[in-house]
Amino acid sequence: MNVPSYRDRTALSRHRVWVVLAWCASLPVACAVAAADEPAVRFSTEGDRLDISIGRARVATYAFRDKEILRPYFSTVATMSGRQVTRNHPPRKDADATDHPSMHPGIWVAFGDLGGEDFWRNKGRVIHRRFVEEAKANGSRGAFVAENEYVSKDGTTLCREQCRWTVAAQAGGWWLLYDGSFTASVDGLGFGDQEEMGLGVRMATPFTAANGGEIRDSAGRKNEKAVWGQQAEWCDYGGTIDGRRIGVAVVPHAENFGRSWFHVRDYGLMVANPFGRNAFTRGETSRVDVPLDKPLRLRYATFIYDAAAGEAPDVGEIYRTLEK
């Protein structure tokens, strides 16, 4: 793999936290037995949708096939208290900005340049082939493994993705963990250099910085002007509604091939992107090759939280808590 020169080794403490996350994500669901007072994760499938509930609240819907959005995604993502944190899908004219309706459905993984094809803007198609592991839950944890195929406009299969999505509830919020492996189907496959690459979130309109919400990152920077295009260990986007601090934090895995830049906008977009050296720094254009015999692995953690007003979560401390 042609790894860009910007790869930066992350701090040992952050590595230890992510080792714990990776270990937790790899556990069989049956081993994750929750205490009696922890909310239970549940899955239910209807058609091409997988509903995810924690306790009494439906916290997300995973759409694995869609006629308009040609890639899987999560919509109507909510806290365990039922407060929706992602924009309505489709956006409502009376309540939301209606830009990018087919690109920003909630939470998703997509790439504006993979093998020269644009899967972010629905030019290429990501086809859900099967569930390698059906959705199963036990107590406060659950997971499923999907196999997706990336197909170009001319019908060529460029690569296959196998991804594990893990849902884990804890006090104050829940985790959505992504662990994806991309295996090339054609020689010379590479990830290009754009802003629109990686894991994306479109925040619910009441939480956007344009409406009084706040973006902050691990370096203490705030809002689009300071955070956009910066590398960080994590980025948090949220706001205060009805006396509660509610939001979403995204943490790229410490062992991804390189650190992520954050493509964030005051209007509600947050993307963790390790592919955009030129897009963010105007430096040398990067390319990440995927040899036929060496898959590329990407991992992200997303935390959906609900806290007391004025108490934005200490994302680093939350991870340290997971180590115990």
Q: Indicate whether 40 pLDDT > 90.
A: yes
Tens of pLDDT along 257-293?
Answer: 999 999 999 999 999 999 999 999 999 999 999 999 9
The reported pLDDT for the residue numbered 37 is 64
- 3-class DSSP assignment, residue 92: coil
- Is 300 domain-assigned? yes
Which residue is it, tokens 């496959």?
189
The reported pLDDT for the residue numbered 107 is 99
- 3-class DSSP assignment, residue 32: coil
Q: Indicate whether 324 pLDDT > 50.
A: no
- Is 248 domain-assigned? yes
Handedness of CA 45, 46, 52, 58 (dihedral sign): negative
- Is 119 domain-assigned? yes
- Is 113 domain-assigned? yes
Q: Which residues contact 189 (CB under 8 A, 6 or more apart)?
A: 114, 115, 158, 159, 289, 290
> CA 90 to CA 75: how far, in whole Å?
9
- Is 155 domain-assigned? yes
Could you count the other beta carbons within 10 Å of the beta carbon of residue 289?
Answer: 14
When pLDDT is cut at 50, 70 and 90, the band that residue 13 belongs to is very low
Tens of pLDDT along 245-260?
Answer: 999 999 999 999 999 9
When pLDDT is cut at 50, 70 and 90, the band that residue 171 belongs to is confident
Instruction: List the structure tokens of 132.
Output: 């390698």
User: Which has the closest alpha carbon to 197: 244, 243, 260?
Assistant: 260
- Is 156 domain-assigned? yes
Q: Based on the structure, what is the number of domains in the chain? A: 1
When pLDDT is cut at 50, 70 and 90, the band that residue 313 belongs to is confident
pTM, two decimal places? 0.89
Instruction: List the structure tokens of 278.
Output: 């030129």
User: Which has the closest alpha carbon to 263: 197, 172, 190?
Assistant: 197
**Reduced to 3 DSSP states, what percent helix, strand and coil does the chain have, rounded to the nearest 5?**
15, 45, 45
In this structure, of 4-8, 77-81, 207-211, 302-306, the range with the lowest mean pLDDT score is: 4-8
User: Which has the closest alpha carbon to 182: 107, 114, 277?
Assistant: 114
- Is 73 domain-assigned? no
Question: For residue 138, with 0-12 CB atoms within 10 Å meaning exposed, 13-18 middle and 19 or more buried, which class applies?
Answer: middle
**Contact, 108 vs 200, CB < 8 A?**
yes
Which residue is it, tokens 């209606």?
98
- Is 79 domain-assigned? no
Residue 133's domain spans which residues?
Answer: 12-38+96-323
